Amino acid sequence: MKIGELSKRTGLATSKIRFYEDIGLLQLVKRAANGYRAYPPEAETVLRLISNGQKAGFSLDELSKLLPSDLSDWKHEQLLSALRQKLADIELMEKKLADNKRQLNSILNDIEAKPGDMACADNAMRVISQMGMGKRRR
């Protein structure tokens, strides 16, 4: 099939398909005598794997190491290991985000607890000193 049809089937722009080809992620392309690209039906599968992999958080570099050049030659243990690692990475990011959220909520609560007669600059110094970031005494 030609690139335009592959683009319609996958929903990917032709420029993105060419990019994946240029970086070696899509290797299933042949050139016709007239120079047009010709893609086998498997190219659609590869492009869907790339798109879904990116949606799952894999970088193009990670995908290039995972995707076999022949779809019948998957490395089962390597694939499972990569998926487990990606899940562990996401769990670590979730923990960091939860920690960041707790910290921001704490700061927000401290700022909102400003006494009514206190100037904003004084309140900022009050909050900073509560965070242990005020001037250090020598």
Cα–chain-centroid distance for residue 14? Answer: 22
pTM above 0.75, yes or no: no
* Model confidence pLDDT, tens digit, residues 28-78: 888 888 888 899 999 999 999 999 999 999 999 999 989 887 788 888 899
Cβ 42 vs Cβ 1: under 8 Å? no
Angle CA(82)–CA(85)–CA(87) in degrees, nearest 5? 110
